[in-house]
Structure 1
Amino acid sequence: MHIHILGICGTFMGGVAALAREAGHKVTGCDAGVYPPMSDQLRALGIDLIEGFGADQLQLKPDMWVIGNVVSRARQPDGTPRYPLMEAILDAGLPYTSGPQWLAEHVLQGRHVLAVAGTHGKTTTTSMLAWVLEQAGLQPGFLVGGVPMNFGVSARLGAGRHFVIEADEYDTAFFDKRSKFVHYRPRTAILNNLEFDHADIFDDLAAIERQFHHLVRTVPSTGRVVVNGLEESLARVLHAGCWSEVRSFGAADGDFTAEGEPHAFDVLRRGERVGQVEWSLGGVHNQLNALAAIAAADHVGVAPAQAAQALARFENVKRRMELRGTVRGISVYDDFAHHPTAIRTTVDGLRRRLPPGQRILAVFEPRSNTMKLGTMKSQLPWSLEQADLAFCHSGGLGWDPREALAPMGGRAQVADSIDELVRQVVQAARSGDQVLCMSNGGFGGIHGRLLQALQNA
């Protein structure tokens, strides 16, 4: 089968492309604004990438057009289609489907699917779970919304029966407004946490809870739902109905709990010590991610002690507290955090690892659709509480970040361009500082630009 993927460079659609290629299908695709790591990974797989969404791509004549949710029926200010290829596909009556549906029909069918859902930590927890199953000899397939450093790729078919997938609550495509994860039909489902997000498609938290309950409805009675016992929103999801075995983690009375610091802790199952995790990761959020992965792996026969040993060799995911370089004693990190809660837990996790007196310079751009809308702008000072200084890129916002960050006083600065942002950070930085750059996009290559500017200063 020849498939042509529209929006191929998104982390999810890039993963679909990699799986299809590995399965022996011919894969081509198109996108705009291509940037690594996904573009590099696709080219390394021999997948031809076309820049833009021109209707001339009809000449490729694939068997199926796979449509990413970046594609819409939107029009330019002059009235022309923003995605002329999609309009041409519709006009010609050609076969098309969504990425999640193609995946469900051609990859997940007949597999034991382990799906990881949640507002935060999906990519990291999915990577942890895949690594635990790999170390247990189960040879799982996986699709992760990032590049796990233990594997070096975001997706693979795997030789075993199990398939681990990052289960996103964002909608499927312009013609299918259900959450992606409804297509996956997991036998093991992790509900890691649940907060309001995606203000561009969800009206409120209750709307997202409804989608999570749709996921719960698809888990069979012989399946397992692994749920964060600290989240009231998830308690409401399960209260709406659950037909599967439930195992909780995190809460003191939960099935799986931790005792100790996030970098070194005992794993307890109903109060009994069953394993110990000692690793390089920090932050309570990663401790909870680990418990979720251990509880899910337990469902497919991997003992908690074995899972804990595997996590000791877990190397995290690219763009998750990834050290990009150190110049003049100043370290520059890259992280994917973009929701206020994720920003706070990321900064707090770094703070816990630093000796007293060492400074954190938080550099961020409110780039997600929710943040661009300004829905959570009032939470920014709270999210940056543990940072010594904060630097915000204001490009493309319809609200004033200076006003939102005013409660931080002189600890916060705002720049309208990346060049100005780099200048501000370099002027403020001193030896021993940890510069933490947070964005869910390329951030204008700020990491390399900061390191170069620090070198030249």
Structure 2
Amino acid sequence: MNNPKNIYLIGICGTAMASLAGMLRESGYVVSGSDSDVYPPMSDFLDQLGIQVFKGYNAENLKKAAPDLVVVGNALSRGNVEVEYVLDSSMRYASMAETVKEFFIRGKNSIVIAGTHGKTTTTAMLAWILDVAGRKPSFLVGGIAENFGRNFQVSGGPDFVIEGDEYDTAFFDKGPKFLHYLPRIVLLKNIEFDHADIYADLEAIKTAFRRLINIVPRSGLIVAGVDSPVVRELIPAAFSRVATAGIGVGEWQARNVAPTADGMSFEVTQADSMIGSFTIPMAGTFNVQNALGAIIVAKELGIENHVIQTALTTFKSVKRRLELRGDVNGVRVYDDFAHHPTAVLETLRAVRERFPKQRIWAVFEPRSQTCRRRVFEQAFIDSFEPADSTLIARVYGASKLDPEQTLSPDRVAEGIRKRGKAAEAFATTGDIVDYLASRVQPGDHVVIMSNGGFDNIHNKLLDRLRGGKA
């Protein structure tokens, strides 16, 4: 990229873009940028790094910054005044994914964590294992890795661990981001239909992952989660080495999986040879799948079992992954990022495995581009099965969607009731808080799921339970 020194990011307050800004700043570049929404905590984070942020988009911002390179966030499109100025002025520009590749990944051992579910947790887990092993990894992950207190690290070690997103790259590059990441090791966890706003169907998703599989070098490795039927279908096309993995299936297996007081225990075998016994401080079989993939990559890199177990024991997960937000008078309130039917089911199943006799309330906001659509209605009806009672909020931004294609919380609630479980749909967050506050009892677990802020419902409920008015 001709060694630019002054870099400007359009859409700098997005999670990935802000992380890239931090990585560039810590690497010695002059960094600035703009966004339509500039507010804490992202604005505080950027300010602490000495990064100038312009509030709102204006061509004058670029004139003042005079950058050598402009990074365009994937939320930006033609018509944005800064995008138009960049094009009119023939300024050098690139996507976030391309910039990460050229500035940070090239020359490293790139480890890409890909799939529909579990990417963020597995990326953070593997980065922590490598850190405990003394490999000083660089990483970029889509959530706050609690062990590091941030979602990126630029370090001098040989590895770069990155969450490989299949979402499109930029308005000028509609391919998935993960194709930019020069993968040498791919941990391909699972594949399902998602991102209904940009992928027409499952076949379109498959095409994206086929392209990822096809760019892993022959000397590289794909750890293939063969619990997933689609992964099993696609993986024979690989040119690289392949390690199949799963719960009781594949070359590498997790066996004798069992819940413990603090998480899960399991054994790992390779071709029926015992590799070792491991424990993780997190509930859920899906977290065993996450750990299995990370263990296989760690063994590929020559890391000993006792180092892996030390890292797993001390792993603190990622914010918003069954994060306990509070316990008031025996009522535990959790926050989780789940927004796909499979993720909802696995999250609730994890709570049920740990607390088989206690009451579970599922509180869900349909917010992502996929789950707001009617295509997943029946799947959501099925996914709330582990909960005793389900409360569904209004569809976020429903006024901007085609009513015929929009998920109906009322239909989902009715479907759940037909299965013999309690379920209600609500018009406002306040109504949900009122309903819960008058009904929860000591020993109950309230699992709140959304990929957004959900109108601060977690704090409102906790305040009410403490005796406040919320």
For normalisation by structure 2, the TM-score amounts to 0.91
In structure 1, C-alpha distance between the alignment counterparts of 2:233 and 2:69, rounded to whole Å:
39
User: How many residues matched?
Assistant: 447
In structure 1, C-alpha distance between the alignment counterparts of 2:43 and 2:422, rounded to whole Å:
37
Partner of 1:298: 299
3-state SS of paired residue (1:66): strand
Structure 1 residues 418, 46: CA separation in 2 closer, same or farther (over 3 Å shift)?
farther
The question of whether the paired residues in 2 share the 8 Å contact of 1:276 and 1:305 is answered with no
Partner of 1:404: 412
Alignment of 1:297-316 (within 5 A): 297-316=298-317
The question of 1:436 aligning with 2:447 is answered yes
- Offset at residue 282 of structure 1 (A): 0.9
Aligned amino acid, residue 353 of structure 1? R
Partner of 2:365: 365
Partner of 1:78: none
Match of 1:128 among 125, 129, 151: 125
Partner of 2:273: 272
Match of 2:241 among 245, 264, 268: 245
The question of whether the paired residues in 2 share the 8 Å contact of 1:277 and 1:309 is answered with no
- Offset at residue 441 of structure 1 (A): 1.2
In structure 2, C-alpha distance between the alignment counterparts of 1:50 and 1:419, rounded to whole Å:
35
3-state SS of paired residue (2:374): coil
- Offset at residue 418 of structure 1 (A): 2.1
Partner of 1:334: 335
3-state SS of paired residue (1:323): strand
In structure 2, C-alpha distance between the alignment counterparts of 1:232 and 1:45, rounded to whole Å:
44
The question of whether the paired residues in 2 share the 8 Å contact of 1:351 and 1:360 is answered with yes
- Offset at residue 119 of structure 1 (A): 0.1
Match of 2:59 among 55, 71, 78: 55
- Offset at residue 166 of structure 1 (A): 0.3
Match of 2:135 among 130, 134, 138: 138
In structure 1, C-alpha distance between the alignment counterparts of 2:294 and 2:124, rounded to whole Å:
9
**1:104-129 CA distance string (max 9 Å, x none):** 11111100000000100000000111
3-state SS of paired residue (1:301): coil
Aligned amino acid, residue 438 of structure 2? Q
Bigger mean CA offset, 318-327 vs 298-307: 298-307
Structure 1 residues 69, 354: CA separation in 2 closer, same or farther (over 3 Å shift)?
same
In structure 1, C-alpha distance between the alignment counterparts of 2:38 and 2:346, rounded to whole Å:
29
- Offset at residue 310 of structure 1 (A): 1.7
In structure 2, C-alpha distance between the alignment counterparts of 1:444 and 1:35, rounded to whole Å:
16
The question of whether the paired residues in 2 share the 8 Å contact of 1:336 and 1:438 is answered with yes
The alignment-based identity, stated in percent, is 42
User: Which structure 1 residue ranges, 5 or more long, are not aligned?
Assistant: 74-80
The question of 1:387 aligning with 2:398 is answered no
- Offset at residue 35 of structure 1 (A): 6.2
In structure 2, C-alpha distance between the alignment counterparts of 1:374 and 1:88, rounded to whole Å:
39
Partner of 2:71: 66
Partner of 2:25: 21
The question of whether the paired residues in 1 share the 8 Å contact of 2:382 and 2:416 is answered with no
Partner of 1:317: 318
The question of whether the paired residues in 2 share the 8 Å contact of 1:275 and 1:308 is answered with no
3-state SS of paired residue (1:370): coil
The question of 1:88 aligning with 2:85 is answered yes
Structure 1 residues 387, 52: CA separation in 2 closer, same or farther (over 3 Å shift)?
farther
3-state SS of paired residue (2:375): coil
For normalisation by structure 1, the TM-score amounts to 0.93
Aligned amino acid, residue 251 of structure 2? D
- Offset at residue 38 of structure 1 (A): 4.3
Partner of 2:252: 256
The question of whether the paired residues in 1 share the 8 Å contact of 2:222 and 2:242 is answered with yes
In structure 2, C-alpha distance between the alignment counterparts of 1:360 and 1:51, rounded to whole Å:
42
- Offset at residue 454 of structure 1 (A): 1.6
Partner of 1:2: 6
- Offset at residue 304 of structure 1 (A): 4.2
3-state SS of paired residue (1:236): helix
In structure 2, C-alpha distance between the alignment counterparts of 1:411 and 1:32, rounded to whole Å:
41
Match of 1:210 among 207, 211, 214: 207
3-state SS of paired residue (2:410): helix
The question of 1:352 aligning with 2:349 is answered no
In structure 1, C-alpha distance between the alignment counterparts of 2:44 and 2:294, rounded to whole Å:
29
Bigger mean CA offset, 6-15 vs 433-442: 6-15
Partner of 1:76: none
User: Which structure 2 residue ranges, 5 or more long, are not aligned?
Assistant: none
Bigger mean CA offset, 425-434 vs 16-25: 425-434
**1:261-314 CA distance string (max 9 Å, x none):** 151112222222222222320111000000001111222222345323321111
User: CA RMSD of the aligned region, Å?
Assistant: 1.8
**1:227-252 CA distance string (max 9 Å, x none):** 0112221122223x211110011153
**1:115-158 CA distance string (max 9 Å, x none):** 00010000000011101111111010000100111111100111
